[in-house]
Structure formats: structure tokens, C-alpha cells
Amino acid sequence: MSPSSAVLGIDLGGTKARSVLLVGGEVRWARTDPTGRALDPERATNLVLEVLAEAAAHAGPAGVASVGVGVPGPVRPGTGVVRSSVILDGWDEVPFASMLSGRTGLAVGVDNDVNHAARAEWWVRGGAGGEGPDLLFVGIGTGVGGALVLDGRVRAGAGGMAGEIGHVAGGEPAERCDCGRRGCISVSVGGRSLERRLRLAPGGLSAAVAAGGTAADLLAEGARRLGAVVADALHLLDLPLVVLGGGVAEAPGFVDGVREGVRANALAEVRDACTVEPAAAGYDAAAVGAALHGTGAERR
Ligand SMILES: [Zn+2]
């Protein structure tokens, strides 16, 4: 992951697409486009072509060297094939990287948006200087995603699930997860799951937590439960850093609640060797990570 030329990253989300052009590792140009469920592979391809045409005008004489794309769904490891998406319609085993490469004539990388956010965290925490830390990234938003960076690479695992801490047991045992099983940690901290349990409208969690009461108590309990799950991840992996990103992680006291759960449950050897931190890569994290991935410098 060491782009010196102009590289484009595009994060395709359920409400917006955020694009950044990195030149020498710095954001030189950015753009935001509205999206929605109807952003199927055909529409997404047209959007990428439009963004690329505009970015090229800012890329200097050598032009855009590569394109990286983030999608809200699982991607087959090393292939750029999007398996599915619950956020966008029409994505069923779509070979999106090869489709885009054929239309643009450029090297194109496609990966899950949470993996890209983890890449960006690694980059801002020393990766840009060649010294990024091993880390577990946990993205807590509507659902819970995770990604594992080891030796400067996001590890996909044999089935593409490495780092997906949201489906580790440790949540409220009686509650059913979107995956069909009961008691995954995501039922205790994921926004959609908490909104369902609290009978709130979609998107209503942060206001309810700010108002205090049951919502705040439930999220505080969830944060401590997540801390216990992180403690077990540390027992397994002994990592120096765990990063908490996503909208739910920004709730007051959430990061401290996770830290408390880690302190109460982890053995001293791993607890003392690890810090738990809020995300630092900011608003553009997934788009920046996509741009880094598109360089092809990172291989499984
Ligand atoms: Zn699950």
C-alpha cells in the first residue's frame, strides 16, 4: 500500500457515494454523489465512469493509475466478485472488479467497505510511513462489521470472514441476529438490532441514547459486552490495537464502556499490551482505503 501516483477511491454506500483522488498519499480532490437502494451494478458502473472522467482532470499528466471501489456487502477474497448486499439492490455474485477493469482499461480493486475503513486506519496510524500496527477494526453502525490488518494487509481469511467480530457470541443470548443465530454480539450493539428491541424508528437510536434512560442503559451494557468479546479476540490474537469506528461508537461513553469490558475480562498479558481507540481516519476512511487497495500493492 504505497501509492505515489494518482489513485482513485470510491465508496458506494446506501445513501451516498464518496470519492477521493489520492496523489502521493494525500487527498487532492473529492466528490459526493447521492445514491439509494436502486444503485445496481449497471448504475454503479455509470457512476464510476462519470467520477473517473472528472477525477482525471485533477490527476496530472500521467492520469489516474488505478481505481478502488468499496461496496456494502461481502466480496469473494482476491476476486473482486460482490457476493450480495442487503443495502443495495441487484448485487448477486457480480464480478464488479473485472467489469470495471474492462470498461476503464485500469487496474480495479473491489472490497467490502469495512475492510477499506480498516486499511485507512492502518494508513493514518503509521502505514503511510511503512510502520502501521497490526489491528482489529470494529465498525459499529446499523450492524457490526470487522476487519483484521496483519503485517500491513487486510486478512480476508479462507471464506472472507476474518475479523467479522459481529457474529462472535457474547450478545444478549435470547436475541436473534440478522444471520439467523441467537446471541451474536451485534444484537447488543448494532443500531438496527437495538432500535428493534427499543421499538424505535430506523435511525432513532442516537437521539434516544442522548435522552438517557433505557436506550442509554442498553447501549452501555452492549459496550461492556463488546469489551468482553474484544478481550477474547485479544486472547486469540494478542493485538496491540483495537479501533472502534461507525456512528454508534461515537455515542458518549461507548469507547470507555468497551475499554471497561476489556479490563474486566482480559488477562493482564494481553490487556496491558493493547489499546482500544476511537477511529482516526475520519469521514473519508472507506474511500481512502478503497484508493489504497486499488493500487494492487496489497496482495493476500
Ligand atoms: Zn450473527
Cα–ligand 1 centroid distance for 119 (angstroms): 24
The answer on pLDDT for 299 being more than 60 is: no
Q: What is the pLDDT of residue 130?
A: 84
Q: What is the pLDDT of residue 43?
A: 98
Cα–ligand 1 centroid distance for 226 (angstroms): 14
**DSSP letters spanning 21-47:** EEETTEEEEEEEEE--TT--HHHHHHH
| Cell 457474547 -> residue | 170
What does the pLDDT look like over 17-27, one tens digit per residue? Answer: 999 999 988 89
Cα–ligand 1 centroid distance for 150 (angstroms): 24
Cα–ligand 1 centroid distance for 118 (angstroms): 20
Amino acid at 205: L
Q: What is the pLDDT of residue 209?
A: 96
Amino acid at 190: G
Cα–ligand 1 centroid distance for 168 (angstroms): 7
Cα–ligand 1 centroid distance for 174 (angstroms): 12
**Exposed, middle or buried by CB within 10 Å (0-12, 13-18, 19+), for 173?**
exposed
- Within a 13 Å sphere around the CA of 28, how many CA atoms are in the beta-carbon half? 19
104 close to 45: Cβ distance less than 8 angstroms:
no
Cα–ligand 1 centroid distance for 138 (angstroms): 14
Cα–ligand 1 centroid distance for 53 (angstroms): 40
Q: What is the pLDDT of residue 300?
A: 38
The answer on pLDDT for 72 being more than 80 is: yes
End-to-end CA distance of the chain: 12
Cα–ligand 1 centroid distance for 60 (angstroms): 46
Neighbours of 193 (CB within 10 A): 25
Q: What is the mean pLDDT of the chain?
A: 93
Cα–ligand 1 centroid distance for 26 (angstroms): 37
Averaged pLDDT, 259-275? 98
What does the pLDDT look like over 104-155, one tens digit per residue? Answer: 999 999 999 999 999 999 999 999 888 899 999 999 998 899 999 999 999 9
Q: How, if at all, do strands 75-76 and 135-140 pair?
A: unpaired
Confidence grade of residue 297 (pLDDT, cut at 50, 70, 90): low
Cα–ligand 1 centroid distance for 145 (angstroms): 10
158 close to 175: Cβ distance less than 8 angstroms:
no
**Domains of the chain as residue ranges with CATH:** 6-120+283-294 (3.30.420.40), 133-278 (3.30.420.40)
Averaged pLDDT, 6-30? 94
Cα–ligand 1 centroid distance for 178 (angstroms): 6
The answer on pLDDT for 173 being more than 60 is: yes
The answer on pLDDT for 296 being more than 80 is: no
Cα–ligand 1 centroid distance for 205 (angstroms): 20
Cα–ligand 1 centroid distance for 248 (angstroms): 18
Cα–ligand 1 centroid distance for 255 (angstroms): 22
Cα–ligand 1 centroid distance for 296 (angstroms): 31
Confidence grade of residue 1 (pLDDT, cut at 50, 70, 90): very low
